[in-house]
Amino acid sequence: MEVFNTAQRMAWGLGEVAEFTGLSLAFLRNEVRAGRLPVRRFGRRVLVRDGDLRVYLDRGSDGEASKDQQHRAHVIDDVSTPKP
């Protein structure tokens, strides 16, 4: 009989987050220091809660979100502004 673990993961180590997302460990550490990626510390162990990781990935880093929002605004302006 095969048994499957269906429990959702509660938290991830930074190394695991780097491996699964393709983001570098150095980048993730900078995001933690800047306060953009919330973590929980247990001694030397740093964990990212699954829900926090999902929110972070949906939002993106602040710099990327700002560039994306600026690009969208520029595209909307180009489309909505009539050409002479």
Burial class, 37, CB count within 10 angstroms (exposed 0-12 / middle 13-18 / buried 19+): buried
Residue 68 placed within a domain: yes
**Domain-embedded: residue 29:** yes
Burial of 76 (0-12, 13-18, 19+ CB in 10 A): exposed
Residue 6 lies in a domain: no
* 2: in domain: no
> Which tens digit of pLDDT belongs to each residue from 7-64?
688 999 999 999 999 999 999 999 999 999 999 999 999 999 999 999 999 998 764 5
How many domains in the chain? 1
- Degrees to nearest 5, angle at CA 74 with 73 and 75: 90
Domain assignment present for 5? no
Q: Is residue 41 part of a domain?
A: yes
In a domain, 3, yes or no: no
Which structural domain range is residue 26 located in? 11-80
Q: Is 65 within the bounds of a domain?
A: yes
Q: Whole-prediction pTM value?
A: 0.64
